[in-house]
């Protein structure tokens, strides 16, 4: 018993020592960042930008790239302000919502508690829907770089710099019609994003083009999609594997690559044309970490998709060069949008002249109207959503040993037509 008591006491001492060590490490680290020279002298006016961009959960792969887009904007703005002799600086507070509604709420509340008046993010429609009441109640502006659900359109404190899914669905269906595809098998994530695209696409194909649509909605919480692939194969088989049948994949990186890896081994699915949502145009699908067979499958099936990216311009080129130089990697498509969201937040604060949610909200539409950024112009509609967008068409190509998303044309919003390059 005495020995047991001694062991318990010694365990408690070890635990106490480790806890003290943890506290010391945290305190030391925070003290270092608090006390180190920042380069800004007295009289500096600091405005805080909340960055609520998930870097874990479903956004573990792409979230950090989007976060860096916002960080780059803040760093560049500070450099410009310093060069201009201004005493204004922007600080950032980045929080990880983990891609869930409850996480988004908790982190948004933490930002509000810290006195933040404008937040870049969150990313998904479910997250934005969850924080919208808090944004209204606390009169804090939220600028989402990638929430695209049409259901969220409301005159509130939430702005969205990416076009909603209705644009993408229109672009996809116009292309399908132009290519003579009338039978579409949709393989989509069973979440707000996947359902949004699938619902809109199905509605347009069936009601306007008289085509047929079959949907396979897969759960994002399972790592095995073999059953879903089996169902998809059956659905495609009922359509036939002619040129009038195609698969539309609405997926993120991990699930998308796993699905493609299974699909390439299926004779039926390997015999039809594949299309992808804008989320399939992420670097992970064709970079060195993706299986060679999957990349070859994408080229072989001529996987084609859209992205609401601005055509190449000096602004876009400068962003891409700076991003590469700062982080040593290319930006993912939505990094362009998080860059613009952060820029709009800062420009609105500067335009308003006060750090206040109401003032920022009132000037933001006007700031957007005169802003052309890495993802194009930012004209908002009456709901604070991106009013209109053209979509670039891309497909996966292989040049020697290099895989790329090669752009081949543009879907024009104004005319609902496709202009090939």
Give the footprint of other proteins on this chain (CB under 8 A).
11-12, 14-15, 18-19, 22, 26, 30, 33-34, 48, 50, 55-56, 64, 67, 91-96, 100-102, 105, 107, 110-111, 113-116, 125-126, 129-130, 132-134, 136-139, 149, 151-154, 156, 190-192, 194-195, 217, 219, 221
Smallest separation (angstroms) from other proteins to the CB of 44? 13
Smallest separation (angstroms) from other proteins to the CB of 69? 15
Report yes or no: 381 and 364 within 8 Å, Cβ to Cβ: no
Smallest separation (angstroms) from other proteins to the CB of 115? 8
- Beta-sheet pairing, 118-120 with 141-144: parallel
Judged by beta carbon, residue 151 or residue 369, the one nearer other proteins is 151
Report yes or no: 81 and 89 within 8 Å, Cβ to Cβ: yes
222 three-class SS: coil
Q: What CA–CA distances, in Å, run from 46 to 54, 118, 330, 350?
A: 25, 13, 30, 11
Judged by beta carbon, residue 134 or residue 398, the one nearer other proteins is 134
| Cα distance between residue 250 and residue 232, in whole Å | 13
202 three-class SS: helix
Smallest separation (angstroms) from other proteins to the CB of 41? 16
Judged by beta carbon, residue 217 or residue 299, the one nearer other proteins is 217
Judged by beta carbon, residue 66 or residue 392, the one nearer other proteins is 66
Smallest separation (angstroms) from other proteins to the CB of 366? 23
| Cα distance between residue 368 and residue 372, in whole Å | 8
* Cα Rg of the chain (Å, integer): 24
Smallest separation (angstroms) from other proteins to the CB of 162? 16
Task: Please report, to the nearest 10 degrees, the dihedral formed by the alpha carbons of residues 268, 236, 192, 299 taken in order.
Answer: 40
Judged by beta carbon, residue 192 or residue 244, the one nearer other proteins is 192
Judged by beta carbon, residue 149 or residue 258, the one nearer other proteins is 149
Task: Please report, to the nearest 10 degrees, the dihedral formed by the alpha carbons of residues 112, 113, 116, 121 taken in order.
Answer: -40
CB atoms within 10 A of CB 400: 5
Q: What is the DSSP string of 123-156?
A: -SHHHHHHHHHHHHHHT-EEEESS---GGG--SS
Judged by beta carbon, residue 227 or residue 404, the one nearer other proteins is 227
């Amino acid at each position: 018993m005495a020995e047991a008591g001694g062991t318990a006491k010694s365990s408690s001492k070890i635990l106490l020592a480790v806890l003290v060590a943890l506290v010391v490490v945290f305190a030391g680290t925070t003290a270092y960042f608090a006390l180190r020279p920042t380069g800004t002298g007295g009289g500096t006016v600091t405005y805080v930008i909340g960055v609520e961009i998930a870097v874990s959960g479903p956004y573990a792969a792409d979230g950090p790239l989007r976060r860096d887009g916002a960080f780059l904007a803040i760093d560049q703005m500070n450099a410009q302000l310093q060069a201009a002799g201004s005493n204004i600086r922007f600080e950032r507070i980045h929080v990880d919502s983990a891609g869930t509604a409850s996480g988004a709420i908790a982190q948004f509340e933490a930002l509000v508690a810290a006195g933040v008046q404008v937040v870049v993010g969150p990313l998904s429609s479910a997250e934005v829907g969850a924080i919208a009441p808090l944004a209204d109640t606390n009169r804090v502006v939220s600028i989402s770089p990638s929430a695209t659900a049409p259901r969220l359109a409301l005159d509130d404190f939430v702005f969205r710099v990416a076009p909603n899914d209705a644009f993408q669905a229109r672009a996809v269906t116009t292309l399908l019609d132009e290519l003579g595809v009338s039978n579409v098998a949709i393989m989509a994530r069973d979440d707000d994003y996947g359902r949004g695209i699938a619902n809109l696409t199905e509605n347009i194909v069936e009601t306007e083009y008289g085509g047929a649509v079959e949907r396979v909605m897969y759960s994002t919480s399972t790592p095995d999609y073999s059953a879903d692939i089996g169902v998809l194969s059956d659905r495609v088989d009922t359509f036939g594997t002619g040129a009038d049948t195609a698969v539309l994949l609405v997926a993120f990186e991990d699930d998308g690559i796993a699905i493609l890896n299974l699909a390439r081994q299926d004779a039926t699915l390997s015999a039809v044309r594949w299309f992808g949502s804008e989320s399939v145009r992420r670097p992970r699908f064709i970079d060195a970490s993706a299986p060679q067979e999957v990349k070859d499958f994408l080229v072989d099936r001529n996987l084609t998709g859209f992205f609401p990216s601005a055509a190449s311009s000096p602004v876009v080129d400068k962003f891409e060069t700076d991003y590469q130089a700062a982080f040593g990697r290319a930006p993912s498509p939505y990094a362009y949008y998080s860059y613009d969201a952060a820029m709009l937040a800062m420009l609105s604060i500067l335009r308003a002249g006060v750090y206040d949610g109401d003032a920022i909200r009132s000037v933001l539409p006007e700031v957007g109207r005169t802003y052309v950024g890495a993802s194009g112009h930012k004209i908002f509609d009456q709901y604070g959503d991106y009013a209109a967008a053209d979509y670039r068409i891309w497909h996966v190509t292989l040049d020697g040993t290099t895989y790329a998303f090669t752009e081949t044309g543009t879907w024009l919003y104004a005319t609902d037509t496709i202009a090939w390059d």
